[in-house]
Chains A and B, each alone.
Chain A
């Protein structure tokens, strides 16, 4: 077991370092820094709601920037390794495909965690310079974003294994991310719809992860800890996408 854990860690670390060394990573970091600081302008316009607006805006930018980078990374990672034949050097070795996929996913999530911490620090520094303290929900909000990333990044890896291009993976994953934020509304519509239409809609809805569950600020008003119960759906969705991806990868030829 230690041998396989070492393999997963090697792939994860390599994937993380490649991600962090990428030019796109630097671009995203500069963009995030600029965007978070530019939110000062919006905060000034909010007058007495400046603290709340800066908090919300910064978290939104943190989530969107990290999501965009990780989706870009997950969509292109396996495709790039196949195109450059790097994957030949991996799969001609005694590396089980499950360990490789787990390592790639872990590496992407490690990059995501680092981005969240970095951008969180930038965001908090802005709040500090504007004279505001640490928002009470902050850690939970970042944890919720990370859980969403676990689900959507594993979904992107799964899609990248049958998709023909990185762009289509990116688009499908972004659509899934958007749908996931309207799961409650879609469920309501399915309940309202009658007959076969309702049944079909009900079935389809079960294929979309409910990402609203991981919004810490939605959980109970303005400031709330995420309930431990949200870990289960996050783990279930991530595992389901990983297993579906593994099923495809184990049949894939290079």
Chain B
């Protein structure tokens, strides 16, 4: 099976400079896993467990201190890797005075699109994320759910093979969560791999075929759907047991 992402013995320590010398905080220790292409994988963990660090390492926003990371066989910093990855950070920001199509056009151009291809990609991303009826509004008029859809739309512009989503349903109302979930399921059915972090175990349970559980910077467990479906306490029970 081809891997979209592979981590081998990855470590990451943050250095925070201070007046009396730097302070160090180890965020990840010896983390190894693979994300299979075309699958939905979830990332669970308490606050500070290292979920966002893993996502930033995959997207080349952070550099590992130890170990090796490969994204479709390339280093995460390579343009070849970034061209195949779409990233949705937690609470994405867009200039409030812009209309969604203008914001998307900028990010589309940064992804190397132009002319008719750019216009088609923007239209397609807006249609997929249900933003078309709101095309005339400015970002300042958007609800949190609509902003999240816009964030997802910018991640989809260049038709990535892997979507990395940091808390995609955080703070959304139940209807918006339902819509985002349906959208992610549809994107996965197109063959895209999805890697999402969440605090909502039930969301991860509904969407993912595999779940990684992080505990204080280490990968405590990798659980497949069959395992949690066979477990009487479900994924929640496995998660609580792992983090305690």
Contacts and interface: CB of A to CB of B under 8 A. Distances in A.
Interface of A: 3, 6-7, 10-11, 14, 18, 21, 84-86, 88-96, 253-254
Interface of B: 56, 59-63, 79-80, 82-83, 85, 87, 89, 91-95, 97, 106-107, 109-112, 114, 154, 158, 164
A3 B60 contact: no
30 contacts: A3-B112, A6-B109, A7-B112, A10-B106, A10-B109, A18-B95, A85-B93, A88-B61, A88-B87, A89-B87, A89-B89, A89-B92, A90-B110, A91-B59, A92-B59, A92-B61, A92-B85, A92-B87, A92-B164, A93-B111, A94-B82, A94-B83, A94-B111, A95-B82, A95-B110, A96-B79, A253-B62, A253-B63, A254-B61, A254-B62
A88 B112 CA distance: 17
A51 B52 CA distance: 62
> Per DSSP, are chain B's interface residues mostly helix, strand or loop, or mixed?
loop
Contact of A89 (B56, B97, B154): B154
Given A10-B109, A88-B61, A254-B61, A93 B93 contact: no
B89 A14 contact: no
> Per DSSP, are chain A's interface residues mostly helix, strand or loop, or mixed?
helix
B112 A85 contact: no
Contact of A85 (B60, B82, B91, B158): B91
Contacts of B61: 88, 91-92, 253-254
A84 B112 contact: no
Nearest to B109: A10
Given A89-B154, A90-B110, A254 B56 contact: yes
Contacts of B110: 7, 10-11, 90, 93, 95
B137 to A, nearest CB: 17
Contacts of A84: 93
Contact of B82 (A10, A93, A253): A93
A225 B82 CA distance: 48
Given A84-B93, A94-B83, A253-B56, 15 more contacts: A10-B106, A10-B110, A85-B93, A88-B92, A89-B87, A90-B110, A92-B59, A92-B60, A92-B87, A94-B111, A94-B112, A95-B82, A253-B61, A253-B63, A254-B56
A199 B19 CA distance: 31
Given A3-B112, A92-B60, A14 B106 contact: yes
